[in-house]
Chain A
């Protein structure tokens, strides 16, 4: 001990720091180490209990002897909490009860709500308390069920309010308190209407869960039965009448419970009628509260429809419309009951069998058989025996010729299997068509996406089409998305409303059960049957995932056995088929599994023998609370380490002030529990540690100047419990910005600092946030400037897109192995070789933020952006030690992954941290023909440790039809997903090959797909460029991509900017990426209330989308461009003086300042409208964008104009030229 102590002393060159710092001059007493020694042993022993490599290994080298006393206390706590974790899980529910009052009180929250509506809220909120008590107080359910099964008239009022309640949460996108999103999920209703977004599309899940009688998944043939059991049957149909935009599909399904009773009321139509863009066709029952109901310009920008809905629901439907609605609902019901929905036919059978077979199941629980796993993939993947078969290529037993001992139910089953999954457009049965027609019309608000049109059913459909950019609706048998569009002649290819994801052409039940497109999208919603067909279509096949998206409502399931397929380990999901009461057939590998005993009991209905009504089978997005089988070690606490650059450059830029301020503000909001730990390190040419141990009077600064052999100066006190040492932390944060003001150190030893951070974090894992302001210039990982400024606008080769050194990659892999993610904040004014630095985040599942030319006073907009980003960053949800496995139906295989992670196995991604803003992409190939199946499914399972120390599994399941004709493949293209996947592939290509290759590949993607379409599907012999309606935006998006910073050539682009754009393409979820690729442009100087929506007491105008071309700009106007992370407002120099006065608050154009980042709060109507529109756009996304005001003559306008992608630039085509170019290539 003595020896080691002295060793430290020797190395600590300047253990004391003078008055500059908060450090007092006491040195850490070396002999103190002796005290920790025992603890250390205990600690390491504890950790080593965890099987496998993930167990924290004792530190190596000299540190190992005495440092780890640091970890003892948390280790014990870990143990304690892990044992208690199950109870904790239960508490999640019972802890919720504050919810009902909140729900009961929405009149204030729902501004437009009528008195009746608000009265009904109490009853409407019943489902929530019942959810809250989910398992513990079933009495509530019975009450509800009886209510729900009452006659139509009785329930129709309820339904109105119920729906409004249910819909509201969906609107509430803006975060629930990040700390415990689950327990407080309802309280987030406060924020709800303000927030909005397609993200909110799982609104009613909880309600659905809580509602006992809601779980009937299928419309049954008998009316009576519908009422009593399968209320969702109503739901299905009544909702389908008004038609729903795709994102809402899930919403409705999940609403089943609370909404079921709504089926006969106007609620259905009401909720939906104003919902989608292009919904003008909705029939009479329409008490919409939009200012001009049914105004043709009603539209739903990113999140438009929800606010609209809520607005609509807020108003009191008139008596007349009520009645109409009821009739309407009735009508639909009848339709429903007569509609041949195959699944319903067997529900009777199943009921009858229940008694006979009750209690004889030899339930095999998933967890029971597994030996102690030795790695995370083993955990996630299950027991050893199954691992082999979990790889995509392995032969799984195919029980297609079903050796079924119970023949009676099997026969109908097999029919059932085949029938509902049909997708032949023309062959729908007439009854089905009747019921389906309105749905499909509603489902394709944006035109290019839907397959079926049944114009004869509802006259209103024609209105819909007319609003869709001139799509005329001939009564052709062709699905709408296949309608040929002559791109060269069609002037306005961009619809005036946002583009929604296409809805897979499944039968309605499956459609409603399917995963939200916000979480899970496939580039082809109709999967081609063979690889040959896919090759013919020349379209990329892949998935885009946003697995950890902020969800306002999510069914959380606590159960002893998580039911999974024994062969491929798939989680049970809505798309499995129940062969009989006792067995289910996996939809991925087709193995027949037993239904465990526990699963037979439905806690919602308290009924036995209805496994198909369990929440797992009713929701395609669920979260399981995992048992200890899913842990390799006790769940880790939340650990945050901040590594800060304090060299001269950094101090000059002044980011420390912003950071410390943000941290101080959000210290209490950091996600975590009582074990949360936090630490700080700073570095210039030396590394400074801060001891914040409880009991110290002031933080101690410990300096290590030996950067070649980094070590931790003290075993504990560097990562401290947030709550025990809060005062010290605050003192440090207050002092930090001024500690280094006079520093002359210009060097930056980033590499050694990261090594030290790794050593500090490796026992627990967690999150390291690195702030860097320049090229690392000392020690390991030092970098040279590689950028040649003269080459910035080169059209030829762009070099140095790859890393210069492997140091950061290796470090990231090490970190990943120790469950540590490194997030990089790069705030530099000069070239900092982001290509190399980014590796530290790329492979450790971190995230990257880049603030070019950051300066806290000279560049206030960047400072503001940093501040806003930090707020989100610090408070958003976080998952630790995560792995994500993606499974797909046998025959498909995944081959390339995109995003920030480390690929551990062919289908397993290792994610040290997961955050709600991370997106992933996967490329797929078809290895075996899918001829014997009509459906394919994809399942992602994300296993993570929540910040509360719970192990959870979030499962998303997506189901898509298989098609055999090329036309159907084209009909199902999701053009946005395809473009995002192509962008990801292009990034890979530009790094591995060259930028020009990537650009060529992008252009070729358009050329190939359009020429393949022209030569095979389209029988038009036009001279123009023909594309199916589903692909009409494809050339535009690809052109936008080519003009993106990442891929553009000929325009001066700094290498770091380019690399950052590439990083973003790889790691952003689709919603954000699309904004980045193709921003939205609005004219805002003439906002009217036409088609406006009501959100939170405010009227939000809905201006139409404009195409990104200067031809749409006028000198007299003011325009808003929404680029996702930044807003530009461009003001023409002839701008209406009223606008300048009323909105900007200046007398004339000349007096408007060049740099303006806020709109003043003026008490005028136009100011109010503009601000409410901006706020509404802002609320729809997690990152609050920064506003830039761009005057027509200001130099900043190039920033704005570079986003006008349809225009010609010196180096790039205009949209029309691009089309001509593509056409020439096709003709070649």
Chain B
């Protein structure tokens, strides 16, 4: 029973993961509203944009922490998403201020359904990782 750095990482990750789950749900709702014409992409895009960068930075933050804590398995599980985030970040249009969701393009049914799928997948991933972090936290606390 020891309060290691790893345990701290998992605790923090747990809290942050809850935030990410909230973000993902927010995205899902936002895109759904877009699809059903309740909002215009110009008005609506903004809260989404506001959440993209925090999401990316939170996720990279605990990736870095797991790296420091030498939790290789956890890090490995997070790697694909991390790379995906990097890819999105560097592939967005011009100024990157409109990060990822381009108002003129987002309403194309293809893009929209892609964004929706992405949000659902992320939600699933964050939910699973939430329980995984919970388990790992208890495990690290109990063991050692």
Stretch of A158-166, A384-392, A484-492, A710-718 that contacts chain B: A384-392
Instruction: Give the size of the chain A interface in residues (CB under 8 angstroms).
Output: 36
Minimum distance in angstroms from B105 CB to a CB of chain A: 8
Interface assignment of B42: CB less than 8 Å from any CB of chain A? yes
Given contacts A813-B42, A817-B42, A895-B109, contact A377 B37 (CB under 8 A): yes
A905 touches B37 (CB 8 A): yes
Q: How far is the CB of A382 from the nearest CB of chain B, in Å?
A: 11
Nearest residue, chain A, Cβ from B45: A813
**B94: shortest Cβ distance to chain A, in Å?**
5
Give the complex CA separation of A893 and B107 in angstroms: 13
Given contacts A391-B36, A392-B109, contact A903 B94 (CB under 8 A): no
Whether A804 contacts B94 by the Cβ 8 Å rule is yes
1/0 per residue, CB under 8 A from B, across A790-822: the answer is 000000000000111111011001001100000
Candidate in B93, B94, B109 with the most chain A CB atoms within 10 angstroms: B109
CB distance from A895 to the nearest CB of B (A): 4
Contact for A904 among B41, B95, B97, B109, CB less than 8 A: B41
The answer, yes or no, to whether B104 is at the interface (CB within 8 Å) is yes
Contact with A along B31-54 (1 / 0, CB 8 A): 000111110111100000000000
Q: How far is it, in angstroms, between the C-alpha of A906 and the C-alpha of B95 when the chains are bound?
A: 25
With A387-B36, A390-B37, A392-B109 as given contacts, are A53 and B104 in contact (CB-CB < 8 Å)? no
* Min distance, Cβ B130 to any Cβ of chain A, angstroms: 30
Docked Cα-Cα span, A905 to B109, in Å, equals 9
- With A377-B37, A391-B36, A817-B42 as known contacts, state yes or no: A904 contacts B94, CB within 8 Å: no
In the complex, which residues of chain A have a beta carbon less than 8 angstroms from the beta carbon of B109?
A: 392, 893-896, 906
The residues of B that contact A378 with a CB separation of less than 8 Å are 37
Q: Is the CB of B35 within 8 A of A806?
A: no
CA distance A36 to B23 in the complex (A): 48
B19 an interface residue at 8 Å Cβ cutoff? no
Q: Is A186 an interface residue (CB 8 A)?
A: no
A393: B residues at CB distance < 8 A: 35
Q: Please, how many angstroms separate the alpha-carbon atoms of A1004 and B28 in the complex?
A: 36
Q: Which residues of A contact B95 (CB under 8 A)?
A: 805-807
B104 touches A802 (CB 8 A): no
A375 proximal to B (CB < 8 A): yes
Q: Could you list 25 examples of A-B contacts with CB < 8 Å?
A: A375-B40, A377-B37, A381-B37, A387-B36, A387-B38, A391-B35, A393-B35, A803-B93, A803-B94, A804-B94, A805-B94, A805-B95, A806-B94, A809-B93, A809-B94, A816-B42, A817-B40, A842-B104, A895-B110, A896-B110, A903-B105, A903-B107, A905-B34, A906-B37, A906-B109
Asked whether any CB of chain A lies closer than 8 Å to the CB of B108, the reply is yes
Question: Which chain A residue lies CB-closest to B113?
Answer: A895
> Which residues of chain B have C-beta atoms less than 8 A from A802's C-beta?
93-94
> A805-B94, A809-B104, A843-B104 are known contacts. Are A904 and B36 too (CB-CB below 8 A)?
no
Q: Mark A887-911, 1 if CB is under 8 A from B, else 0.
A: 0000001111100001111101000
Residues of B within 8 A of A810 (CB): 98
Complex Cα spacing A895 to B104, Å: 13
Asked whether, in the complex, the Cβ of A53 is within 8 Å of the Cβ of B108, the reply is: no
Contacts of A817 in B (CB 8 A): 40, 42
Which residues on B sit within 8 Å (CB–CB) of A803?
93-94
**Cβ–Cβ < 8 Å partners of A843 in chain B:** 104
Complexed CA–CA distance, A1139 and B93 (Å)? 56
Chain A residue contacts of B37, Cβ below 8 A: 377-378, 381, 387-388, 390-391, 905-906, 908
User: Main secondary structure on chain A at its contact with chain B?
Assistant: mixed
- B106 CB to closest chain A CB (Å) equals 8
Q: Roughly how many angstroms separate A378 CA and B103 CA in the complex, as a whole number?
A: 19
Please name all residues of chain A whose beta carbon is closer than 8 Å to the beta carbon of B107 when the two chains form the complex: 903-906
In the complex the two chains form, what is the Cα distance from A174 to B93 in whole Å? 42
How far apart sit A734 and B110, CA to CA, in the bound complex (Å)?
52
Q: Which 10 A-B pairs rank lowest in CB-CB distance, beginning with the nearest?
A: A895-B109, A903-B107, A806-B95, A905-B37, A806-B94, A895-B110, A896-B108, A387-B37, A843-B104, A803-B94
Q: Which residue of A lies closest to B103 (CB)?
A: A813
Q: Which of A388, A394, A805, A903 contacts B104 (CB 8 A)?
A: A903
Task: Tell me if B112 counts as interface (CB < 8 A to partner A).
Answer: yes
Across the interface, B98 reaches (CB within 8 A) one of A390, A806, A902, namely: A806
Identify which of A807, A809, A895, A904 contacts B40 (C-beta below 8 A). A904
- Is the CB–CB distance between B97 and A388 below 8 Å? no
- Specify the chain B residue showing the minimal Cβ separation from A894: B109
Q: How long is the Cα–Cα vector from A810 to B45 in the complex, in angstroms? A: 12
**CB closest residue in chain B, given A893:** B109
Identify the interface centre among A803, A813, A894: most chain B CB within 10 Å of its CB. A813
User: Chain B interface (Cβ within 8 Å of chain A)?
Assistant: 34-38, 40-43, 93-95, 97-98, 103-105, 107-110, 112
In the assembly, what is the distance between CA of A904 and CA of B36, in Å? 11
For residue B94, which residues in chain A have a CB less than 8 angstroms away from its CB? 802-806, 809
Closest residue of chain B to A897, judged by CB? B108
Enumerate chain B residues within 8 angstroms of A908, measured Cβ to Cβ.
37
Q: Which residues of A contact B103 (CB under 8 A)?
A: 813, 902
**Which of these, B36, B40, B97, B112, contacts A806 with CB under 8 Å?**
B97
CB nearest neighbor in A for B91? A992
Q: A190 to B104, alpha carbons, bound, how many Å?
A: 43
In the complex, residue of chain A having the shortest beta-carbon distance to the beta carbon of B107: A903
Q: Which residues of B contact A806 (CB under 8 A)?
A: 93-95, 97-98
**A393–B109 alpha-carbon span in the complex (Å):** 10
Chain A positions within 8 Å of B97 at CB level: 806
Q: In the complex the two chains form, is A388's CB within 8 Å of B36's CB?
A: yes
Q: Contacts A387-B37, A806-B93 known; list 4 others, CB within 8 Å.
A: A802-B93, A806-B98, A895-B110, A906-B112
- Distance between Cα atoms of A375 and B42 in the complex (Å): 13
Q: How far is the CA of A810 from the CA of B38 in the complex (A)?
A: 21
Q: Give the residues from 856 to 904 in chain A that come closer than 8 angstroms, CB to CB, to chain B.
A: 893-897, 902-904
Residues of B within 8 A of A809 (CB): 93-94, 104
Chain A proximity of B70: nearest CB distance (Å): 40
Question: In the complex, are the beta carbons of B108 and A903 less than 8 A apart?
Answer: yes
Cβ of B118 to closest chain A Cβ, rounded Å: 17
CA distance A378 to B40 in the complex (A): 11
B128 to chain A, nearest CB (A): 28
The docked-state distance in angstroms from the alpha carbon of A893 to that of B36 is 14
Please tell me if the beta carbons of B43 and A53 are within 8 angstroms of each other in the complex.
yes
What is the CA–CA distance of A805 and B109 in the complex, to the nearest angstrom?
A: 25
Which residues 887-941 of A have a CB within 8 angstroms of B?
Answer: 893-897, 902-906, 908
Residues of B within 8 A of A904 (CB): 40-41, 107
Distance between Cα atoms of A904 and B104 in the complex (Å):
8
Q: Which of B34, B35, B36, B104 contacts A813 (CB 8 A)?
A: B104
Q: Which of A643-674 contact B (CB under 8 A)?
A: none
Q: How far is the CB of A776 from chain B (nearest CB, A)?
A: 15
For A381, list chain B residues within 8 Å (CB): 37
Known A-B contacts A802-B93, A896-B109; the reply to A903 vs B41 at CB < 8 A is: yes
CA gap between A381 and B38 in the complex, in Å = 11
Chain A residues closer than 8 Å to B38, beta-carbon distance: 387
Chain A residues with CB under 8 Å of B112's CB are: 906
Q: Which residues of the other chain, B, contact A893 by a CB distance below 8 angstroms?
A: 109
What distance in Å separates the Cβ of A311 from its nearest Cβ neighbour in chain B?
Answer: 47
Look across to chain B and name the residue whose beta carbon is closest to the beta carbon of A376. Answer: B40
CA distance A829 to B102 in the complex (A): 32
Query: How far, in angstroms, from A392 to B108 measured CA to CA in the complex?
Result: 12
**How far does the Cβ of B142 sit from chain A's closest Cβ, in whole Å?**
48
How far, in Å, is A790 (CB) from chain B's closest CB?
24
A1059 to chain B, nearest CB (A): 15
Q: Which residues of A sit under 8 angstroms from B43, Cβ to Cβ?
A: 53
Which positions 816-839 of chain A face chain B at CB distance < 8 Å?
Answer: 816-817
Given the complex of chains A and B, what is the CA–CA distance between A842 and B102 in angstroms? Answer: 14
Q: In the complex, what residues of A have CB within 8 A of residue B35's CB?
A: 391, 393, 906
Q: Which residue of chain B has its CB nearest to the CB of A803?
A: B94
Across-interface contacts of B98 in A (CB, < 8 A) = 806, 810
Interchain nearest-CB distance for A53 vs B (Å) = 7
Q: Are A902 and B104 in contact (CB under 8 A)?
A: yes
CA distance A890 to B41 in the complex (A): 24
Report chain A residues within 8 Å CB of B93.
802-803, 806, 809
